[in-house]
Amino acid sequence: MILPSSSAEDDAPSRTALPLAYLATGLAMVAFAGNSLLCRAALRHTAIDPATFTSLRLASGAASTWLLVRARGGAVGGSWISALFLFAYAAGFSFAYRSLPAALGAFLLFASVQATMVLAGLRRGERLAGRQWGGLVLALAGLVGLLVPGLTAPPLAASGLMLAAGAAWGCYSLRSRGAGDALGATAGNFLRAAPLALGLSLLGRPWARVDPAGAGLAALSGALASGLGYALWYAAMGRLRATAAATVQLSVPVLTALAGVVLLGEPVTPRLVGASLAILVGLALVLRGPAAGSRGLEGLDRGV
């Protein structure tokens, strides 16, 4: 999800508003994890195909965010370039989950999004402290360890699709920096991305499959886990410190992994545990920034 640029309010959150901000943040993290679980469950246990799932997800997300914008009397914004990145993320996400377990997909997506953000910051002239460089190396080592060929290695094609989806979401988040009305921009981007997904579905019409269960999971993913989850995240951002908001997103892959084991019966392998810990610890070191006085990456927008 998009993290708006930090402001004075981020550094001095109201004590009375913090409980609501924490509740909204927790619900948003559950919603983000739910996207992986709903997509994986739909493609594994129902007849729906990835293109149709993407179309229904984006269409229901467009409807829910548009209704939220209208309910508060706002205006729809966004752009076609951002919508293209949103579509690329959603399509890559769905096709990758044909083969990837929910937990592994979430870790790959999260690592790719954060790596995209960090690289963008370095390109803009941001600097990493020594501890942050160490964290970046540790996270990359964990990613390599996860993907290196072996008995428990994930499919490379699906892994590549999920990494590309993460990069697309990272670019989408970067383009959304400084948006005055983040929810209005999100609604507009969903409205533009939905026809692109419909075009993909038309191209894949010979392989199209759908059933009520799959359509229902796609609608839940779009309307609740995406639309409502994004709205909750935006509501929380004005009350949380920027670094806290970035770090709390580390919980999303962990929540997805635990729920995947409990709800979907997915296995937990030593490779997944070891590599995931390396990625999480490494990214935490990068996101937390230098101990004091150095210019790091805390000001970056970050997405999940």
Nearest to 225 by CA among 74, 30, 21: 30
pLDDT under 70: residue ranges of the chain: 1-18, 126, 128, 146-153, 176-180, 237-250, 287-304
* pLDDT at residue 18, rounded to an integer: 61
Q: To 5 degrees, how large is the angle CA 298–CA 301–CA 304?
A: 110
Q: Is position 1 within any domain?
A: no
* pLDDT at residue 240, rounded to an integer: 60
Q: How many helices (H) and strands (E) does the chain have?
A: 13, 0
Structural domain including 204 reads 8-288
pTM over 0.85: no
* pLDDT at residue 248, rounded to an integer: 67
* pLDDT at residue 52, rounded to an integer: 95
Q: Is position 297 within any domain?
A: no
Q: Which amino acid is at 279?
A: I
Element at 1 (helix H, strand E): none
Q: Is position 303 within any domain?
A: no
* pLDDT at residue 220, rounded to an integer: 95
* pLDDT at residue 119, rounded to an integer: 80
Question: How many structural domains are present in the chain?
Answer: 1
Q: Is position 122 within any domain?
A: yes
d(CA 63, CA 224) in angstroms, rounded, equals 11
Q: Is position 296 within any domain?
A: no
d(CA 101, CA 153) in angstroms, rounded, equals 12
* pLDDT at residue 2, rounded to an integer: 42
For 96, how many CA atoms within 13 A lie in the half-sphere containing its CB?
29
Q: Is position 300 within any domain?
A: no
Nearest to 140 by CA among 267, 283, 43, 24: 283
Q: Is position 302 within any domain?
A: no
Q: Is position 12 within any domain?
A: yes
* pLDDT at residue 96, rounded to an integer: 95
